[in-house]
Amino acid sequence: MKTLIKTLKIFFIALISIIILTFLYLFISNKIFLASKNQTNIDYLKNNKTTIGNNFNTQIFDNNVNTSNVILLGEIHGFADNQKLDEFMFKYLNKNLGFNYYIAEMDSLNSKKLNTFLSSDIKNEKLLKEVVLAIKKRIPQQSSQELLKKWNNLYDYNKTLNDSSKIVVLGIDTNFDDSNSKISRDSAMIENFNHIISKNHLQNEKFYGLFGLFHTLQKGMNDKEKPFAERLLDNKYKVTSIVSYTLDSEMYLPKNDQFPTPENEKINWVNADGPMMLIKGILDFKELAEPNSISIFNLNVKNSPYKSSQNLIQIKSRLFGENFTPKENLKTTDYFQYVAILRNSEALTPIQ
């Protein structure tokens, strides 16, 4: 009996030691990867920042935005404020720069339903809910009450527009039920996008869309896995990319077989400063992004430190997806030109 007790003690001491060492390893390696704050970066960011809302400073958007014919917002799925940011951006671009076409990470069948919803004289909530529920097949973390609310709001906004400014949704993704495609999703997206433009004679139009973050990067990690945005550039479109990162926020993580999910399906450990996801250089934003806000930073101004560093594009993921390592000769603004910081975003609310 004494031998058994002694063995159990040794086992539990060893177990606790392993847990403590693992925690220390994660803490120290995370701190090293994130690096300390950089005052040069902070001083630059202070002068090239605005917050969405009534006091939004439109000068944050430079001539590159004004002359782009495709603007993409890249999100990490599951955060509620990305839907607010998406709605704000599309309304702004529609009012000020003539962006009527919303390209969507959905198939053509569901975009047609969404267009029917937007153009109907009476708001068809049942049809909209059908689209939002269908999105679960491709992006479970996006199908939500907030997505439903965004399109309800855009329906109301669309009713205020004259015919030449009305919203048109273009679904460029593969069919939600098709799992046998012989080409990558990003390759299918550019093929579908080019086909729609050619078929409908939209060569002189402007397009905006919300996609998963990887699709909006203007370069990949290698030449084989090209994101949608890089393929757009290869096809001579002028593209501006905005990526969205979070601090002190909650993510909606639906129940699944791959990861343990809390009962309420909300987690707070996938923010840009860790512990399970790390964005190099994100600490420079912690004192600049106010609580409960959505801030946008222009990284592409002359003499920007992001033109000569790889901050914000070096990504370490300890749980979801793969690490992202930029190509050695490229800098942050080769991948995207703006970053949005969501502070204290709530998780998306699942739709029943």
d(CA 325, CA 164): 43
pLDDT at 25: 45
6-27 pLDDT per residue, tens: 666 666 666 665 655 555 545 5
Place of tokens 């392993």: 18
The mean pLDDT value for 117-130 works out to 96
Token pair of 313 as six digits: 């594009």
d(CA 264, CA 348): 11
d(CA 272, CA 281): 9
d(CA 278, CA 268): 13
List, as one string, the DSSP characters of 323-344. -B---TT--HHHH-SEEEEEES
Answer yes or no: are the C-beta atoms of 89 and 225 closer than 8 Å. Answer: no
The one-letter amino acid at 323:
N
pLDDT at 316: 87
Domain range annotation of the chain: 1-34, 40-343
pLDDT at 182: 80
216-231 pLDDT per residue, tens: 999 987 767 899 999 9
**Is the pTM for the entire model greater than 0.85?**
yes
pLDDT at 7: 67
The mean pLDDT value for 132-154 works out to 95
* Mean pLDDT, rounded, of the chain: 90
